[in-house]
Amino acid sequence: MNAIKLASAQIACHAGDINKNVQKHLDFISSARSEGVDVLVFPELSLTDYLSSPDISSLSRTISDPEIGAILNATVGMAVSFGFIEAAENGRFYISQALANDGAILNIHRKINLPSYGKLVENRYYTAGDSLSLVDVKNSLVATLICADSRNPALTWLSALNGAELLLHPIASVKSAVGPDFDIPANWEINLRYMAMNYGLPIVMTNHCGHRGSLDFWGGSRIINAFGAELARAGESEELIFAEIDPNDSRKVRHLLPTVRCSDPQFIAAELDRFLQHHHYRSNHN
């Protein structure tokens, strides 16, 4: 099986200026195409920037809006993952990440785990997604998790259990998100390598960079292979990084380190059912 060339587009967005951000996307897509990239990943909410208090009524888009279409038209021969505020049915708004190829959307992942701590108050503005899905890209099954989604370890585990062979992981991480005693970049370092090696899951993590108001994005985007080895890492400024992975590596790692194969979802389901029954009982008797 041929190698897959992955790329991470670490960008400093123009806060709330979708037209300028679309042009930045098109520029990076063009650069990635010239490098022969197969899959390119932009950060979480890359069309709007990550905003502490978003004006969702003016910044949200549907998949049929022209700004989305401009990016879709640029995806000929290359899969591109990009983030936007999605205006959906019944007045709901989601933090969404679209994966497109050859002018069509292959998948839209809606962020499931919405932080509500520190500087992060996403649950005030957005509805949580409620599903995980995989899509075939270059003969590999690809999953998407957005930033804090991977703070719920069950979501990564379920993605691997369902057969994911590549994880696209757009984030919007700032150093000061939850307080001065937390080393956020180091936290990501530990968790990303753990997820990759433990589940035999190559990862493309893409962060924002630069300062906007009180948000101090630290960059550090990276590509990690199925063995947990870092193949490429960005600095603190705008940068396009890329690396090749062998799609067979995922299967090789899962044979050598059978974390996924030895999982016992029936046991987990039974324990979870007992927990929920106990929790339900306690909540009704306190």
Question: pLDDT 10s per residue in the chain (286 long)?
Answer: 689 999 999 999 999 999 999 999 999 999 999 999 999 999 999 999 999 899 999 999 999 999 999 999 999 999 999 999 999 988 999 999 999 999 999 999 999 999 988 878 999 999 999 999 999 999 999 999 999 999 999 999 999 999 999 999 999 999 988 888 889 999 999 999 999 999 999 999 999 999 998 899 999 999 999 999 999 999 999 999 999 999 899 999 999 998 888 888 999 899 989 998 887 655 444 4
- 196 neighbors 203 (Cβ within 8 angstroms): yes
- Entry pTM: 0.95
pLDDT given at position 213: 86
Q: Six-digit token pair at 46?
A: 């890359």
Cα angle value 4/28/85 (rounded, 5°): 95
pLDDT given at position 280: 67
Q: Domains in the chain, start-ordered, CATH in brackets?
A: 4-258 (3.60.110.10)
Q: Please, what's the b/e burial string for 244-269 (b: 16 or more CB within 10 A of its CB; e: otherwise)?
A: bbebebbeebbeebebbeeeeeeeee
Q: In three state form, how does the secondary structure of 109-158 look?
A: EECCCCCEECCEEHHHCCCCCCCCCCEEECCEEEEECCHHHHHCHHHHHH
pLDDT given at position 278: 81
